[in-house]
Structure 1
């Protein structure tokens, strides 16, 4: 496996919904704590690290969110089942009959009525969370000892690769977290960055961009790069002119999205550095959805930001697909932007 992928499989398999990113943060910190000059965990749970550059007159912030979409336990029944509510945007249609894990440990299955027993109206209707019961196999007494209201529930998905494609949950945004860990490794090999560089592994993006503004107030960067997993949409049932990005066409950058128009200066630098280094880059062509760049635009005096993202097919589902070459090329572009300081030159 490519060395740039050494963190990605484990990162995607870790459980970490918004507000419960502990296992992800612990994994990241263990891997990078001896490679950075400073680090701290703030009150919200953001992990903020710093590596000193050749020039300390400017600050560059890289930012990726640790949380994934998922669920919380909202009710526990006497028959060994429980109910859930979504944390972040999860279409209930992708939850039917899936395997889930409670707190990353307890296996369960979303119950579904067999198709043979569905009425005509039931076959046409969209499922909703009120109708879901999740089965554990526990007795009435056992379930209430093992599962509590508010417990974290995530998809039970293993990372695997087939050719240039990888499948897992949580590429949004463990891909961005993995990119930052790769950059920290590169710097640790003796490649000192041009400017002081901060790596903010932030919380609660999926429930309203909560952690990024808090991190930015502490860092006060001159420029930020938001690293993400983003919608692909390139599947046969959707007309090509409605595709947001396309797997295999390189990492994606944004000129705007819901709630923000990105800094033209930063946008142009991303484009020019990609062109100079023959790195394939694509634009996200649909502007629905958002990233932490929206929060940064209204934090402090406004922070100029750019976005680099890995296109992800079937995003916010248990089986998201990325193209490994998009991931690798995104990392190569980051090296030029961050280590060489091109994002500010």
Structure 2
């Protein structure tokens, strides 16, 4: 388990630029699934035939991470950037970046010796990214407008915790690869046909999943996410959305969607049945691809299960590895246990 998590989080892949992530996943599922195909938008769909093909299940996680694009090359050789997805500018001062996954860079930050006002929030129009170039002409030979910019972060693991960028949602992609491995190594087949959708462009408006689902036409879906924990040391418990170490997060409602009661109840009952810890997402801000699925075709019902991650959409996010393992166990049981499937299909 967690064979792929480090590699996945360290790969570059902002929305619409997930090609390295997609290529890595394709290389790891080769000969393990019955069919793999990529659609016009960039979703990667992996099909695993079940014992019974009368029903279709989609498991979905998005490949893209939040990041930036180069939107200006300044006369002094620095760059202006715009966010791709929701990134608070307060988390990027003095941070290390990589342009196109290769060129190291750093974000400007005024030392406190020169500006005592620590209440200021830097605006994107005032951010300059320095990559060692001294002029626009020099910089333009290496960097182009529209180039991808990501946080330069390495995966780190210690005891029960991991730290990295892009847990939202490479953690979901990693769990799906683990589940594919489970079926491959056990030489078993799922109850029904399963389509694993590694989705594109979730962070910029839930763009990919609906396109993939229109092709697959699943009867039900399970969306996997890395979700905000909110149990930051400075926050009181009433502001926590979830808590590290309390198990997989089961969503009953979020922005744009109320989860169908039968699906929500069946996920909860399955977690109780296999005796793993779980928690509810106690704040409803934010959304997932499940909201897009509800508007696709005639409406595709979906459940949402997440791994809680502290400080998501930042260079350093923290995850409890026990939460990852329990989320894997919950999802695995949902698709092999006729209890859940009988309740939702």
TM-score, length-scaled by structure 1: 0.97
SS in 2 for 1:116: coil
CA–CA distance in 1 between the matches of 2:316 and 2:308? 14
Aligned residues: 340
Give 1:8 deviation, angstroms: 0.2
Contact kept? 2:271, 2:277, Cα under 8 Å: yes
Matched with 2:128 is 133
Matched with 2:250 is 253
Contact kept? 1:234, 1:244, Cα under 8 Å: yes
Distance change (3 Å), C-alpha of 1:343 and 1:219: farther
Q: Which of 267, 272, 292 is 2:269 aligned to?
A: 272
Q: Does 1:109 align with 2:106?
A: yes
Give 1:275 deviation, angstroms: 0.5
Q: Does 1:186 align with 2:165?
A: no
Q: Which runs of 5+ in 2 are unaligned?
A: none
Contact kept? 2:2, 2:175, Cα under 8 Å: no
Matched with 1:32 is 29
CA–CA distance in 2 between the matches of 1:268 and 1:191? 27
Matched with 1:73 is 70
Matched with 2:144 is 148
CA–CA distance in 1 between the matches of 2:340 and 2:210? 20
SS in 1 for 2:141: helix
The alignment's C-alpha RMSD in Å is 0.9
Give 1:33 deviation, angstroms: 2.3
CA–CA distance in 2 between the matches of 1:25 and 1:304? 26
Q: How does 1:1-345 map to 2 (within 5 A)?
A: 4-120=1-117, 123-140=118-135, 141-189=137-185, 190-345=187-342
CA–CA distance in 2 between the matches of 1:282 and 1:207? 27
SS in 1 for 2:244: coil
Distance change (3 Å), C-alpha of 1:7 and 1:179: same
Distance change (3 Å), C-alpha of 1:151 and 1:51: same
